Structure 1
Amino acid sequence: MLPLLHDKAGLGDRLTSLELKGAGFTDTDRSTGALSKALHEFLCTTPTLLHLTAPTVTYYTEYLDLNRILVGSKDTHPDTPRADGRIWACRSLKTLHLEIRARYESDTLQHSRVIFGYLSKVCPKLEDLQLRRPYLSFWLAGGL
């Protein structure tokens, strides 16, 4: 599926930069979920990563929701990704360009608080942050 992200024998200890230009899939719903999950796995297992540039790759907000406060239960939406309790290993990340969206949109203030709260705790060394997200709240109530 995604050889670089899945078969990274030895790369996790050396890779410092990753740039993803586009998914290149035809089945966008299934491929978006698969790529988001693979990227989550990669970020949780690559401590040396300093720069991630993937502005067109969708990463689901639900993976950042460690306290499980976002609306949308497994009963209502069984295919919704959930935080698995793991945090990103790349704690020294300096550059992050990413598209972040929820599988099922709801309260944008709450989603924004989850995103900014996670990034401020897990990636305190961020210098260059570019997020693409529909309805991202930059109000104080949104956590910025």
Structure 2
Amino acid sequence: MKTVNVVAAIICDDYKKKTKIFATQRGYGEFKDGWEFPGGKIEEGETPQQALVREIREELGAEIEVHDLIDVIDYDYEKFHLHMNCYWATVEEGKLQLLEHEAAKWLEYSDLNSVDWLPADLALLPKLAEGMVDNNVEYYNETGV
């Protein structure tokens, strides 16, 4: 089975206090309409971080800062094996634009399961939940209720 090496950006609103992440809906191909984290294939000679910066520039028209590696997801689709390096990222310059995707939305902790994730991206959600701030839980903790 062929292995496809890709990177994914989990773009968050604030790196220190992650309350929202950016999800995109595929607008083409075999997995059209599935929700995913933006990114793409690593080209020869690129580091995963360089590939991620390039892919986000191409797909979303913005410059990002790549932060730490969240996880590496290995997932067997029917026709290929996906090896996906997933990084926290923040927008450094520009505005996120849909150049290749059908739709996008910012998701809060409580909304993570509100979209139809592609299987490999779905596998990342437990790790993301660990790194995000749940506004409802935080509110109750602050007020003592």
- Same fold, judged at TM 0.5 (above): no
Q: Which has the larger radius of gyration?
A: 2
- Give me the TM-score of the superposition, normalised by structure 1: 0.31
> Which structure is higher in strand share?
2
- Give me the TM-score of the superposition, normalised by structure 2: 0.31
